[in-house]
Chains A and B, each alone.
Chain A
Amino acid sequence: MQPALKEDVSLVAEALAGNQLSFQLLVERYQDRMFGLVRHYTRNPVEIEDIVQDAFLKAFTRLTSFQQQSSFYTWLCRIAINTALDFHKRHGRNPVTAMEDPELAQAADRPGRGGPSVQAPDARMERAEMQRITQEVLAELPEIFRTVLVLREFEDMAYQDMADVLGISIGTVESRLFRARARFKEKLLQLHPEFGGD
């Protein structure tokens, strides 16, 4: 077991035993990453804070169900993503578009990404501008695609951890990620045809 993971487990045990400071340390350890994760679901700083706080409060009420089979952060991610989706639902925003559910799509229809190629962002392009475009494109994607891209590209999660967070198999992670990248490329070229490579 990795030292960081071991420490998480100890902190969880202490928090369960009634040590408030241990839980505070857990929050402190992961709060930055949680804010970074949730910003992909809303750009409003007040909403981000609300969602992260809610996610930690829910995590505390479920600490006994933390199985230690996955890392504490993976477990926390799952709660945070669900909290973000709940938040959208409560506010009448539906990030899940059933019509675009990739599980309903026939993978065989699109065996390869194909289509026009995309340019890598120009080295001279400002990082902030590139991030603005990426966020703009991500916001246009159905939640199911956005989440896999966020977990992989921004959270650097391994496929196994993504499978744990999303409650799906590694094979499904693979195919969902493949289609998510294809959608991202399509949407990027649709919104910014100037980045087309052909």
Chain B
Amino acid sequence: MNFNCQDALPLVDSYLDGELTEVRASLLRKHLLDCSACRTGAQDSKALSRWFAKPKELEFAPPAGFSARVARRAFAGDVGRPDGLTVGSAEANHEERGRLLQFVLTITAAAAAIMLVSAVALRDQRLPNADRLDAANPPATAEQVLLQLDKLNLSEGKALTPGAPASELPANAAGRKP
């Protein structure tokens, strides 16, 4: 198995950290001998690592009596501040996932309830009732709409018995030309 540069470069750091298995390390060494670009990359990594020098002296030292104070507080029942954000904590991640799941379930239940109520309300609503629905040629203007309504009123008026008083006729059935 041969390494190309894409395989080799991510391994250079692990190699310098002494974390590569001997098999991978030997493959990488072989590649570095042949590839000047990756050798430059390895030298760059070495140069970078020199920026992480440890301080010779402790920069922030614990105050005198720190350990005794902490032990005393611990045995007195002081538990420190409550937890919040945690990284890499399996329990915390699990808790976070639980909260998210609960939120999603609540939202889903609310949406289902709204849909159920809407469905019942729509079923009970009175639907339009007509002999014929014709939306193919809707009236173009307000004037035409009024003329059609007058025609309808007149036809309904005629349908009434001949001896019926005028008050039973539709209010606008008379006095307007069709």
Interface residues of A (CB under 8 A from B): 20-21, 23-25, 27-28, 31-32, 35-36, 39, 45, 48-49, 52-58, 60-61, 78, 81-83, 85-90, 96, 111-114, 117-121, 127, 130-131, 133-134, 137, 143-144, 147, 149, 152-154, 158-159, 165-168, 174-175, 177-178, 181, 184-185, 188, 197
- B87 and A81 within 8 A (CB): yes
Q: Pick the contact of A127 from B47, B56, B93 — CB < 8 Å? A: B56
B84: Cβ under 8 A from any A Cβ:
yes
Q: Count A-B pairs with CB separation below 8 Å.
A: 175
Considering the complex, give the chain B residue whose CB is closest to the CB of A23: B71
Q: Supply 15 A–B pairs (Cβ within 8 Å), ascending by A.
A: A23-B71, A27-B66, A36-B55, A39-B60, A56-B70, A61-B80, A81-B88, A85-B85, A86-B81, A112-B5, A117-B43, A118-B47, A174-B10, A178-B13, A184-B48
Contact A20 B71 (CB under 8 A): yes
Contact B40 A152 (CB under 8 A): no
**Hey, which chain B residues are within 8 Å of A88, CB to CB?**
85
A-B residue pairs, 6 tightest by C-beta = A167-B88, A153-B52, A57-B80, A24-B71, A112-B9, A27-B67
Asked if B50 lies at the interface with its beta carbon under 8 angstroms from chain A, I say yes
The interface residues of chain B lying within 8 Å CB-to-CB of A57 are 70, 73-74, 78-80
The interface residues of chain B lying within 8 Å CB-to-CB of A56 are: 70, 74
List chain A residues, Cβ under 8 A from B92: 82
Identify the closest chain A residue to B37 (Cβ). Answer: A112
Per-residue interface assignment for chain B, residues 41 to 71, with 1 indicating a CB less than 8 Å from any chain A CB and 0 otherwise: 1011111111111111011111100111111
Chain A, Cβ-Cβ closest to B46: A120
Q: Please give, as numbers and ranges, the residues of chain B lying within 8 Å of A61 by CB-CB distance.
A: 74, 79-80
**Bound form: Cα–Cα A143–B93 in Å:** 17
- Per-position contact with A for B68-105: 1 when CB-CB < 8 Å, else 0? 11111111001111011111111011000000000000
- A32 and B41 alpha carbons, distance in the complex (Å): 35
Chain B hits for A111, CB < 8 A: 5-6, 9-10
Q: Would B67 and A113 count as touching, CB distance under 8 A?
A: no
Measured between beta carbons, the chain A residues less than 8 angstroms from B40 are 117
Is B22 on the interface with A (CB-CB < 8 A)?
A: no
Q: Which residues of the partner chain A approach B46 to less than 8 Å between Cβ atoms?
A: 120
Given contacts A20-B75, A24-B68, A112-B41, contact A85 B87 (CB under 8 A): yes
Residues of A within 8 A of B48 (CB): 118, 120, 181, 184-185
Chain B hits for A154, CB < 8 A = 52, 54
> In the complex the two chains form, is A86's CB within 8 Å of B10's CB?
no
Interface string of B4-20 (1 = CB under 8 A from A): 01100110011001010
Determine how close the nearest CB of chain A comes to the CB of B51; give it in whole angstroms. 5
Q: Kindly state the separation between the CA atoms of A72 and B43 in the bound complex, as whole angstroms.
A: 35
| A35–B58 touching, CB < 8 Å | yes
Cα distance A115–B171 in the bound complex, in angstroms: 89
Identify the closest chain A residue to B91 (Cβ).
Answer: A65
Q: Return B104 CB to nearest CB of chain A, in Å.
A: 19
Partner of A27, one of B6, B14, B70: B70
